[in-house]
Structure 1
Amino acid sequence: MAYTDANGIDLSGVTGRLIQTVDLVKNPAPQAIATDTVNGHIFVLQVESSATASVGNMYLNRIDRQTGARTGHMHLKGFGHGLAMGVEAVGGDSYLWTEVGPLHVTSSGTAFGKAVTRFRFVDGAVLDGATIPQEQKFTAPGSTAGTGPSTDPVNRLLTVMYHKDGKRLFTRYDLAGAAAGEWVPVGTTFTVPTGEDITPAVPSPYTLKPKLTFQGFAALGDVLYIYQWAPYDKDKDPTIPSEFPGITFLTSYSWTTGERLDRQVVTGADGLTRREPEGLAVEVDPTTQETRLLFGFSNTVPNTEYARDVTIGWYPTKQAVDGVKVLSDWEDLTLETGVAPGAQRPRGRLIALAGTAYLQLRGTLTCSPGLTADRKIATLPHRLRPTRPVRQNASRNNQSGRCVCRIEADVHGALWAYGATTGNAITWIDLDGVSAAWR
């Protein structure tokens, strides 16, 4: 049953897209996400492979939020695993909040930072956690294992997750005060209720592991969101294909009462090849000023076995207007060589109507001397790219009674036109009638 929380977020509702299938600086999967909307950056943490380096090393990727292009990275040595991350803009600089050593190394050899720190992003820099002064590190009182910070940009709060007496706890601090080294708790500490890591009984094609894996968190006002994953249990069923990793859950809690508000299976970006949940964050969209809950997924880079890329979606908070939510307003398509705008330039947008997201296109394009075979005609912006193919018929020049071609968009945003032949060239396409279900 749909439930909308105090922030306007419905975890069972429609979602938009920020970036899709963006390659990272190294092969391992992303771990945590955060955005600096003032300076136009997305930050993604990934663990450096322990097969080639000491445990606890990470890479911090910087990505342009408009183009999806990676614009820089840092190497973080002895920091941990990347349970969560926060960011704040200070003028033209981005300051990151992450976990840092001393490290807590588990019996399986995974290393987590036991302290929280803050540092300025410097492209190409190598930062050794052991060289960070102790006064620039913070460990929550009584914390015994891994920790992680997350920023609430609306309320200017920093939430720190940590472990104490076998429980997972969250405490909030004033963001400016924490940056100045003043760690005074704001309000009460939230303790995750017992049993919340038990895998729920949900329809599944394969047996799920009995306990959920923590994949990130974010706090917005009075609501705490926790990202979890129920991997398929390959120990019990070794025939499970590796590209089918499991089921993702997102749970919300009231910070005031401690009760669970909602828990839903995350259905966004469901067409990725290997879809593993990685990271939550909160941002305020710089264009619309809408507060959004971001969620990340890793995916296998095509034609590789181990390399992972990152896709980030988001839940809207604004209400529909006349039944329509605009998830991404009109943006120009990037046209291929030999394809030009017609009377109206080709554009696209994403809307939600009655619980379904739709990709809408408009405008016309011309092809000179004409398309004579199936081919790519344009590229969609990251915010419009589907994770399952989207296709619909569109009007074209009438030749020998043929006046329709098929338009199809794929996971990488490639927009193709099908139906042209050497004897029946397509010279123009009208996109105004394209409105297809998107996910």
Structure 2
Amino acid sequence: MATHGPRFSRRTLLVTGGTAAVSLTVGGLAGMALGGDGRDADMRPSQPVGAFDIGRVSRLWSPTPLHETTGPQSFAFDDVRQHVYALQLVQGGLRLPGEDEPVDTETRKRAGDMCVTRYSRSGEQLGHMYLRGFGHGISLGVEPEDGEVWLWVESRAHPKTGYGRSVARVRFRDGSVLDSDDRSVAHHRPAPPDSTRVHPALDLTTGRVLVSYLDGDDEHRYSVHRMRDVLAGDRAPLRDFPVPTALEGETFQGCALHGNYVYHFTGNAYSKSSGKNPRAAGGNTFVSAIDLKTGYIAGRTLVTVDPDLSFREPEGIAVRIAPDPLLCVGFSVKSTDRRNLALYGFELRPPAR
């Protein structure tokens, strides 16, 4: 498989491999593969991708509604409270506080208006918040701290594309509406000044933030920073490297950071049988791991779980830390009047003998 040579910054990255000091109950059908009808099937062969095994899958959520009717973009976990947060674009036709008239769908998308829904681990809705003018929501970080929950999101949406150009850390407040230009919002620029489509994800086990961005030449790159450095205004990354060429041209659907690997999620919804991505061919959803030490691909696997889901567009990837790390992926699933979020988790690879 072709790879792109790494181009790291001069600073080095020390990965401690720490674990979260929390103890929670595992949900889902651990260790079971899921057949095309959604029922449990025999374990598939091992499919290592980074530290995880895509052959060891659990269904976490059947298709579950979000607060708005639009599809999900990303999700992340609060493992202290056993909560899940999901981002979506705000549906058209709504009038939020401070708006004189309802806003149509395309205007909402260009403005970067998002809704974040909070859930219990089982998928019960517990609250929501609107983030107006922030971005598209390709990835999300959730940081519980001192009884509060802080969301790491893209911010300062580009007026033409609706994608974020900065990173913001904002407090989740149920039922509230927060504008990106509110004086309480601090915008951080860990990516280069001319970068676009800036998306953060967190690795709380090591206190780091992953930033996905397009540089001035529209090259897709990743950088890794200490969370405290980003908040202090230090832009120097621990690592900065291009997405390997083998992954270029695929539709990017999210990223996650855990330990020594970046997890890169790509794919599209099924096409018609005569199209480029028919259901019969298994789709084109892939999880790839990129080794932070080298910048090379360290595993790449087609995700075939629940192939008969309606629509089945890959949307979001995140790591649930406790009680054991679980690499989780989401799919947008159509129902009669809305899109829903289905979640699946992949277990760690068994120890080498």
TM range (shorter): 0.7 to 0.9
The reply on whether 1:317 has 2:345 as its aligned counterpart is no
CA RMSD in angstroms comes to 2.8
Quote the Cα distance in structure 2 between the aligned partners of 1:179 and 1:284: 23
Alignment-derived partner of residue 114 in structure 2:
58
- In 2, distance between residues paired with 1:245 and 1:27? 27
Which residue is 2:138 aligned to? 83
The reply on whether 1:101 has 2:156 as its aligned counterpart is yes
Is 1:275 the counterpart of 2:275? The answer is no
Q: Given the two structures, how large is their TM-score scaled by the length of structure 2?
A: 0.75
Q: Distance in 2 between matches of 1:137 and 1:293?
A: 27
* Counterpart contact for 1:101–1:130, Cα < 8 Å: yes
Cα distance change on mapping 1:274 and 1:82 into 2, 3 Å: same
More strand by share: 1
**In structure 1, what is the equivalent of residue 208 of structure 2?**
157
Taking the aligned partners of 2:221 and 2:234, their CA distance within structure 1 comes to: 20
Tell me, yes or no, if structure 1 residue 4 matches structure 2 residue 38: no
- Structure 1 residue 5: Cα displacement: 5.2
Q: What is the SS of the residue equivalent to 1:176?
A: helix
Tell me the number of residue pairs that the alignment of Structure 1 and Structure 2 aligns: 292
Residue 218 (1) aligns with residue 256 (2): yes
Post-superposition offset of 1:181 = 4.1
Q: Deviations over 1:279-321 (max 9, x none)?
A: 0111212xxx2111111111112x33xx11111111111638x
| 2:230 counterpart SS class | helix
Aligned partner of residue 115 in structure 2, secondary structure: strand
Contact 2:169 2:186 in 1 (8 A): no
Q: Deviations over 1:143-162 (max 9, x none)?
A: 43211000112222111111
Q: Which runs of 5+ in 2 are unaligned?
A: 1-44, 93-103
Based on CA coordinates, which of the two structures has the bigger radius of gyration?
A: 1
What are the superposed Cα offsets for residues 404-436 of structure 1, whole Å, 9 maximum, x if unpaired? xxxxxxxxxxxxxxxxxxxxxxxxxxxxxxxxx
RCO higher in structure (CA 8 A, sep ≥6):
2
Equivalent residue runs for 1:204-283 within 5 Å? 211-232=249-270, 237=274, 246-283=283-320
Indicate yes or no: 2:331 matched with 1:297: yes
- CA deviations 1:249-276 (Å, max 9, x no partner) are 1111111112112221102233322211
Contact 2:270 2:313 in 1 (8 A): no
Distance in 2, Cα, partners of 1:60 & 1:194: 33
Partner-residue secondary structure (3-state), 2:311: coil
Cα deviation, residue 182, structure 1: 4.0
The answer to whether 1:116 aligns with 2:167 is: yes
Provide Cα deviations, 1:65-107, integer angstroms capped at 9, x if missing partner. Answer: 1x3110100111111111111111112211100001141634x
The 1:135–1:310 alpha-carbon spacing in structure 2 relative to 1, beyond 3 Å, is: closer
Alignment equivalent of 1:25, drawn from 67, 70, 87? 67
Distance 2:83 2:46 in 1: 32
Q: Give the equivalent residue in structure 2 for 1:137.
A: 188
Q: 1:299 to 1:102 in 2, by over 3 A?
A: closer
Normalised by the size of structure 1, how large is the TM-score? 0.61
Task: String of CA shifts for 1:355-378, please: whole Å, max 9, x gaps.
Answer: xxxxxxxxxxxxxxxxxxxxxxxx
SS at structure 1 position matched to 2:229: helix
**Which of residues 73, 82, 89 in structure 1 aligns to 2:128?**
73
Change (3 A) 1:194 1:93: same
Structure-2 separation of matches of 1:146 and 1:227 = 16
Identical-pair percentage: 31
SS in 2 for 1:269: coil
Q: Secondary structure at the match of 2:197?
A: coil
